[in-house]
Structure 1
């Protein structure tokens, strides 16, 4: 009988695997995985290969894993749901792993709101405007700004490298956060002392790395090496005239926290809840068949019971009725009960908390149904707007440094003289739906006048406003000529003759 009881412990048998604790993102990656590198001077580090090697290795081994985890969540490779090998109690049961890309939703909304409409750079100096417009056009800056913002809000940092190519054109490109870092000084302004780019590539079955260090006056390149050895043998030095370290770091806040970093534990909980729901629905189809009655259980061995259990079969000896007779033999299925309302309410609460804490609204929510004007949306994303203001200040600081470097190189090559950033404004236009009809009605009701060109430009189906105006004038000219002809051919009374 003891054997029978032991076998029937189908849920909590000692031979079964237990749940394993899953550490949250914040528990895995300590603050040391995101601190800034600092030194008294560039020479303190660059004159000592051991110190530079230690700094590169620390970035590669301690900071890159955190950045990689953030990148994974933006691509629905959620670590907690996929890396947990012991999620299910019982072997042989369904083990679905469903990752939900809330990180992408949050990041995409943030990027679209701030850079969906290109950022404007306007100066009081016409020469500065000309230089910036030419530079922006050559580098497709609208797209570059969008990608820089995406990295900045994904990783809490983004890097831009400026250089002059062989055609004497000034260029800007993104430098990967996995291969770039900046070392700052100890002064209160945190002046960049130097930046490091260590580019990894594969040569056959070996991975090589090329290290370049950018100071405020030169670029130091080392011979290809490996991450294992990091032998720093200087290969060449090149002078540059950007006036400062030509790599700019963009940060949304002084903590270098990404837009969805603090809600990753909630995303993990939602993944687990949805995965468990899917597992239940699958296991429900494999419910255990229970046969109870006047059965001879003694003839079965422990191995027999284990095989029965694996095949979802359970045998039970019948009981005794109140009148002393044995109960009849019966068969039926048993399965774990599923609290539909409680489980769905739990998942709804998690989803709501993810949007609430990240400040990014759930646009699928019924509160966002119908057409929303820009002003109405502002009240619903008030918390998000407060975070946006901080991010925009950090991004503006990086943009101002970009154009300061640009004017430095222009002055050196004598393509500009006397131009400075005084009076330069960076303007962000929120990419929100607009209630144009309501705005037009308010202007007209107030006695305002709007040109036909402006009105036509508001129509989504008109691609070329000037061409449309030209066609209207042509039609008016044809109608006037027709009316004149009718007058001279017998009088015009407003009707065809």
Structure 2
């Protein structure tokens, strides 16, 4: 690539630290992204959506049966792994109650769980995705996600690989460029001729975007199964062609004399346009039979099974509809079957935790989420829970066993039905206080000011009744 910028083997855009990005270098980055990376992203997206290669390639079958069948296992693999990873929303909390309350309110208002789920799915498809922050017209901090087909991050050339700029761009119906480049202290609109115009201030005091990825290679779930998925589509299509061939087999009539019309054609057809009539053949060896080609059914079925198994094996996402997940398999046996996906999810969790912390470091700066606690991002706690069938009774028993061994917060975190252990602790404390107040109020020895108004009224009525009876 021309200019002072460079591209790493894993597709990262690198630029010298403490150097202003020029128009020429920005143009080179965008053109390289559009020409070299976007086509690959588009193929992965088509694979996920079911627009597979089999539907577009020319097989040159010269008018013969040509079925095009797509088994969209890539879609199944992505959705299964994404559901396993973030199907249960991760718990994001702060130690300080007031700050945690502000954080939970902001997360709910901005549907953060939905944004994170979409980013996680895009990381599975493309190998990376982005969340960027902005402020609306009321100066409220908002977030949005952006896929790598329309955006990219530029990092500096130091060992820390710190973000220098975030670029979002697109082309209108006239193929004219428009976009925005976000720097640490300002942002610019990118004009059709790649000029940076209309400077705007950046209240976040840092590049307001963070990259989310599953591994340093920026490989998603689909990268290693593209050829397998295309081969499976081809095998299934050929299988369908052969099945249809047997339905449309030709009938051979050799050495047999059928009634004919004045032109010598048979007066009736057993199978329309699919009969070979040879009356001049040796009558001593007359026969009527269907023409068939060798049957490769067993070989085809073996290939389909092998390709299907390899797709699940290479993607590290098990086929949950397989017989291995039915019957009476022990919990330990099932854990071993899920171990590859669990390992993959744990690695993704570590990368996502790092990205989430960097994101909130940026978002906390304007002070709109947790007030003046801009440094609270250092105290954030993230808990991801794998989305698997659970036995709530077993969880409750485990939590009960932990009584007095661990903190109340850790004890509650064992329960999948508890989204926010801190909030649950507050509810429990409030319920305990209400029960204590109720017990005090209902006590016979309670003083008048401790009694509830209803209890005091009842006692006053009883006293008045006794006085009247005298």
TM-score by length of 2: 0.75
Out of 3, 11, 23, the residue aligned to residue 35 of structure 1 is 11
Q: Is the 8 A contact 1:160 1:173 kept in 2?
A: yes
The one of 288, 295, 305 aligned to 1:338: 295
Which residue is equivalent to 2:168? 197
Kindly report which structure 2 residues correspond to 1:324-335, keeping only aligned pairs within 5 A, or say none.
Answer: 327-335=284-292
Counterpart of 1:246?
208
Q: In 2 relative to 1, CA 370–132 (structure 1 residues): closer, same or farther, beyond 3 Å? A: farther
Q: Report the counterpart of residue 270 of structure 1 in structure 2.
A: 232
Q: Residue 280 in 1 paired to residue 242 in 2?
A: yes
Other-structure match for 2:154: 183
Per-residue deviation, 1:316: 6.7
Quote the offset at 1:405 in angstroms: 0.5
TM-fit CA distance, 1:331: 3.1
Shift of 1:313: 5.2
Question: For 1:351, what is the secondary structure of its paired residue?
Answer: helix
From 108, 111, 114, the counterpart of 1:137: 108
Return the alpha-carbon distance in structure 2 between the equivalents of residues 266 and 365 of structure 1: 19
Q: Distance in 2 between matches of 1:332 and 1:422?
A: 81
1:345-360 aligned at under 5 Å gives the runs 345-360=302-317
1:356-387 deviations in Å (ceiling 9; x for gaps): 11111111111111587876542221011111
| Secondary structure at 2:89 match in 1 | coil
* Pairwise CA distance, 1:252: 0.3
**Contact 2:361–2:374 (8 Å) recurs in 1:** no
Contact 1:33 1:63 in 2 (8 A): no
Task: Note closer, same or farther for the CA distance 1:446–1:423 as it changes in structure 2 (3 Å cut).
Answer: closer
8 Å Cα contact 2:78-2:221 kept in structure 1: yes
Structure 1 residue 70 and structure 2 residue 44: aligned?
Answer: yes
Matched, 1:218 2:180: no
Which residues of structure 1 form unaligned runs of 5+? 1-30, 226-230, 296-309, 321-325, 449-456, 459-464, 467-497
Question: 1:236 maps to what in 2?
Answer: 198
SS in 2 for 1:408: coil
Separation in 1 of the partners of 2:400 and 2:105? 38
1:433 maps to 389
The Cα offsets for residues 14-54 of structure 1, whole Å up to 9 and x where unpaired, read as xxxxxxxxxxxxxxxxx98951111114745x22x222112
- 1:97 Cα deviation (Å)? 0.8
Cα distance in 2, alignment partners of residues 440 and 250 from structure 1: 34
Question: Aligned in 2, Cα 1:42/1:153: closer, same or farther, shift over 3 Å?
Answer: farther
Given candidates 322, 326, 332, the residue that maps to 1:365 is 322
Moved over 4 A (4+): 31-34, 310-320, 370-376, 437-448
Task: Give 2:423's aligned residue.
Answer: none
Q: Match of 1:422, SS?
A: helix
**1:422, distance to aligned residue in structure 2 (A):** 2.6
Q: TM-score, normalised by structure 1?
A: 0.71
Contact 1:39 1:186 in 2 (8 A): yes
Q: Once the two structures are superposed, what CA deviation does each residue of 1:451-480 show, in whole Å capped at 9, x if it has no partner?
A: xxxxxx98xxxxxx99xxxxxxxxxxxxxx
Query: What per-residue deviation string (whole Å, max 9, x for no partner) do you get for residues 230-276 of structure 1?
Result: x1234300111212111111110011111122011111111111111
- The secondary structure found in structure 2 opposite 1:118 is strand
The aligned counterpart of 1:58 is: 32
Gaps of 5+ in 2: 1-6, 258-271, 405-415, 418-426, 429-470
Question: Take 2:370 and 2:321, find their aligned partners in 1: how far apart are those partners?
Answer: 55
Q: Give yes or no for contact 1:200–1:210 (8 Å, CA) kept in 2.
A: yes
Deviates most, 134-143 or 247-256: 134-143
Residues 1:86 and 2:59 aligned together: yes
What residue is the counterpart of 2:344 in the other structure? 387
Counterpart-to-counterpart distance in 1, 2:195 and 2:364: 34
| Aligned CA distance change for structure 1 residues 374 and 238 (closer, same or farther; 3 Å) | farther
